[in-house]
Structure 1
Amino acid sequence: MRKVSALLLGSERRAISGLAGLYASRMLGLFMVLPVLALYADTLEGSTPLLVGVALGIYGLTQATLQIPFGLLSDRIGRKRVIALGLVIFALGSMVAALSDTMVGIIAGRALQGGGAVAAAIMALLADQTREEVRTAAMAIIGLSIGVSFAIAMVLGPWLAAWAGLAGVFWFTALLTLVGLLVLWRWVPAAPRRRRHRDVSMDRQQFKSVIMRPDLWRLDVSIFSLHLVLMAIFVAVPFRLLGAGVPIEYHGLAYLGIMALSFVAMVPLIVVAEKKQQMRLMCLLAIGAIVISLAGLGLPFFAGDWLFVWLFVFFTGFNLLEATLPSMLSKLAPAGAKGTAMGVYSTSQFLGAFLGGTLGGLLAHFGGLNAVFIGCAGLALCWWVAMWWMPSPPPLSSEIVALDDTHADTLDLLMEHLADVVGVEDVMLVPEERLVYLKVNRQQLDRATLTRLMSPPQS
């Protein structure tokens, strides 16, 4: 096994910080509209609750459709070129929405924003720029940046809209994206190589086996359902805050308090899930919290200050699932198939966002605001039942080990020996990548034997 320092190199620090910033700024631009679009829709020609919902979620449809093709294109013409193209498309979509005074124009702009589907290309470039032993930490930083960007968007969106209107939100997004192009050009280093990384990239040969696994399928259903209800309720939540006496210009402060408290409440639950191996229990608890909070938001006798209680409960469950579902997927995905599993998972998330916005608009149009919450509570209850039968994920981790030249003639024998190592649960050896993908139980792993097997023989 190659012995290299796990400390980040200077180029890795630049790549991680720059790409995490790009990823987070895109998500910030997409999410800032959530808490404000419904409130400002009456200034747009042709606005209806249904079209508001479509505008909220339409980015998910184009994102789900194009993210895999963009990722494959980056293998052919280069990561930076594809990311730059996606950022330009995203900026154009923001400008189209900023210049629109009709709901159809807003929908077109949001769809174009989703067309800048560069998430897979960003992750692939990050993999190109980082060594195997630090890549997991790099991916975790990206995940953390997404959570932080969502929280900031919930606060910043209402403040910008109160100051500069809905168009100001989209202009700010466009400006942020142009800054992102500068970061990509001047700060993120050029990738020294382009390779397929099975821990981040989609492998079409593994697609069928991944999508047919019930344990992974349940996680895809979970992220689909989570973003469905999130997008659906934001057709109605801003009006609930108005009804509770919170002026538009103070909605950001309301979300700030709710999100801050929910993050504080989430942390000990994540510790229990990870350290005590109670992933399944925490997942069911989070979905149950979402069911109860949505039902509370939809029942008319829970009014006034109850609104803030239910939003706190909802976002605690939401943030807990956003943190634990990817961890569960990492544990359950077969060796060498994490990238494929994550691709299906992300596509499910974006489709959930699209259908959630549309469903929320339909429910609001035909049944009013209460129907949005009650309908979503019913769907979340079905989701909870589906997850009840999920077994607890095993405490497994992914590891990637580089092959040495001395292993070239003994690959079959090496794979057999690796499979026999205590704590190694799954092995995938890929000669063309010169890598071995492992699923290991680190509490039981015989690290000494693994190191001896992967070390070149002494001459």
Structure 2
Amino acid sequence: MARDNRIQMFPHEWRASTTLSGVYALRMLGMFLVLPVLALYAANLPGAENNKALVGVAMGVYGLTQAVLQLPLGMASDKFGRKKVIYIGLILFAAGSFMAAAADSLTMLVAARAVQGAGAVSAAVTALLADLTRDEVRTRAMAMIGLSIGLTFSVSLVAAPVMADVIGVQGLFVLTGVLTLTSIGVVAWLTPNPDVSRLHEDAQAQPGRVAEVLGNRQLLSLDFGIFALHAAQMALFTTLPFAMEALGLLKNQHWKVYLPATVIGLVLMVPLIIVGETRNKLKQVFVFGIGCIASAQIALMFGLDSIWLITAFMIVYFIGFNILEASLPSMVSKIAPSDLKGTAMGVYNTMQSVGLFVGGAVGGILLQHYGFNGVFAFCSALMLLWLLIASVSPAPKPVKNVAYAVQPQWHGRTDTLYRALTGLQGVEAVTFSQDKHTVYIKALQKGFDQKAAEKIISGD
């Protein structure tokens, strides 16, 4: 295969990447759109009287069912087919959305949010995308999904308060349900069907190897980090809308806080991540991001008497949040063995979902019994603990992961191929997929002769 064909996406790969990124984004849109407005809406439902704890559960319960079902549904897609599991998951998510729109009590809203979370299709979507893309371009395809999620989150925070004022929170849930049903059609008619489905170690979790991930202290520290980041995020959005409303900022005007915070956070994140990746300063940038969030949470304990102060603190918060959302997956990829990257990301995603649930539930309980300061004290303590862990953890090596299909001439001779590749300068590790049809190379970003590796693999 020519080099140009390895680095350029084929038309069907572009179609798979764009349609599945869209499906992923639509599902996340349903979660993100209600995030800034759900707490205030839930607090006005029957059954919410003096029950901020249950409001917090309504905010985060989808994370619990998502955490429980994410890996099982991914495994089910191996057995029953990717698209079938995706259809089931999207139908559940749509059903939960329509249930939430019809909810006439806080208890019913909690149940609806749990059903939404049960539509945990992320692992199945990732597996389908892996089936439809070659090893050489898969990282780029996965990055498209990550970009779609980031953009959806930023747009949702700003748009949600305005849209909720026009169509109501119930309308947001209905819109989510309709878009989700539409995405089923996208998967059915626009997303290609894979010729064959198989395990892709770089993209899918291997349940039998989860213990290997849990035994890696560096990966565990990152798993705690994503848990803490999203627990603090959910606790924040369970609390902050009430604080802004108490200052007289109507809920349809909350975008005035979120817009500058998200835009400035995104603009400043890009150069910082570039510096971290290209100058081997990723740990320093990473620790700086945690410090930004910790500082913002501490400041919110003492600065809730001014919308201007809250806006300033949220700008600092989103600078840190965007840095961490971009750098955490990169650090997991650098640290995890190449043939365990999918498993490491599976554990990572599960801990993120657990964090969403814990943050909502604990945030609601603390808000009910200890007020705003109790919530932000919890968030601050969580961030300071993470800051300590991150500060003493070793910096990841400046490596990158590349993957190639093993050419037919190497079949049955992978030991020879292994020795040839490990002898190249800059190569840190070489592993093969279980079927020996894919080779994964973890190599230094600088000093690795990728052309030489490709020449060896191609047999030229």
TM-score by length of 2: 0.96
Structure 2: give runs of 5+ residues left out of the alignment: none
Task: Determine if the alignment matches structure 1 residue 216 to structure 2 residue 219.
Answer: yes
Q: Distance in 2 between matches of 1:53 and 1:407?
A: 56
- Residue of structure 2 aligned with 1:143, choices 143, 146, 150: 146
Percent sequence identity is: 41
Q: Distance in 1 between matches of 2:120 and 2:38?
A: 22
The alpha-carbon distance between structure 1 residues 192 and 294, as it changes in their structure 2 partners (threshold 3 A), is same
Moved more, 149-158 or 108-117: 149-158
Contact preservation (8 Å) 1:333, 1:341: yes
Q: Could you report, residue by residue, the CA deviation over 1:72-111 in whole angstroms, capped at 9, with x for unpaired residues? A: 1111111111111100000000011111111111111111
Q: Distance in 1 between matches of 2:115 and 2:33?
A: 16
Give 1:448 deviation, angstroms. 4.7
Q: Distance in 2 between matches of 1:97 and 1:431?
A: 43
Task: Determine if the alignment matches structure 1 residue 353 to structure 2 residue 356.
Answer: yes
Contact preservation (8 Å) 1:97, 1:109: yes
Contact preservation (8 Å) 2:414, 2:436: no
Contact preservation (8 Å) 1:58, 1:111: yes
Give 1:433 deviation, angstroms. 4.7
Please give the residue correspondences for 1:225-264 in structure 2 after superposition, counting only pairs within 5 Å. 225-264=228-267
Q: Distance in 2 between matches of 1:423 and 1:392?
A: 18
SS at match of 1:425: strand
Aligned match of 2:34 = 33
Aligned match of 1:376 = 379
The alpha-carbon distance between structure 1 residues 176 and 431, as it changes in their structure 2 partners (threshold 3 A), is closer
Q: Distance in 2 between matches of 1:304 and 1:323?
A: 28
Aligned match of 2:309 = 306
Aligned match of 2:10 = 9
Contact preservation (8 Å) 1:28, 1:152: no
Q: Distance in 2 between matches of 1:353 and 1:23?
A: 18
- Residue of structure 2 aligned with 1:181, choices 178, 184, 192: 184
Q: Distance in 2 between matches of 1:304 and 1:454?
A: 59
Contact preservation (8 Å) 2:433, 2:439: yes
Q: Could you report, residue by residue, the CA deviation over 1:244-287 in whole angstroms, capped at 9, with x for unpaired residues? A: 43222222343222211211122221122111111111111111
Letter of the structure 1 residue corresponding to residue 412 of structure 2: D
The alpha-carbon distance between structure 1 residues 301 and 455, as it changes in their structure 2 partners (threshold 3 A), is closer
Structure 1: give runs of 5+ residues left out of the alignment: none
Q: Distance in 2 between matches of 1:138 and 1:64?
A: 24
Task: Determine if the alignment matches structure 1 residue 443 to structure 2 residue 446.
Answer: yes
Contact preservation (8 Å) 2:261, 2:316: no
Letter of the structure 2 residue corresponding to residue 6 of structure 1: I
- Residue of structure 2 aligned with 1:203, choices 198, 201, 206: 206
Q: Distance in 2 between matches of 1:183 and 1:335?
A: 31
Task: Determine if the alignment matches structure 1 residue 405 to structure 2 residue 402.
Answer: no
Count of residues in Structure 1 that have an aligned counterpart in Structure 2: 457
Give 1:304 deviation, angstroms. 4.0
Letter of the structure 2 residue corresponding to residue 25 of structure 1: L
SS at match of 1:110: helix
SS at match of 1:426: strand
Q: Could you report, residue by residue, the CA deviation over 1:214-268 in whole angstroms, capped at 9, with x for unpaired residues? A: 1111111110100000001111111222234322222234322221121112222
Contact preservation (8 Å) 1:44, 1:103: yes
Give 1:138 deviation, angstroms. 0.7
Contact preservation (8 Å) 2:200, 2:433: no
Aligned match of 1:61 = 64
Contact preservation (8 Å) 2:135, 2:438: no
Q: Distance in 2 between matches of 1:213 and 1:268?
A: 30
Letter of the structure 2 residue corresponding to residue 46 of structure 1: G
Give 1:451 deviation, angstroms. 3.1
Task: Determine if the alignment matches structure 1 residue 423 to structure 2 residue 423.
Answer: no
Give 1:43 deviation, angstroms. 2.5
Aligned match of 2:276 = 273
Letter of the structure 1 residue corresponding to residue 99 of structure 2: V
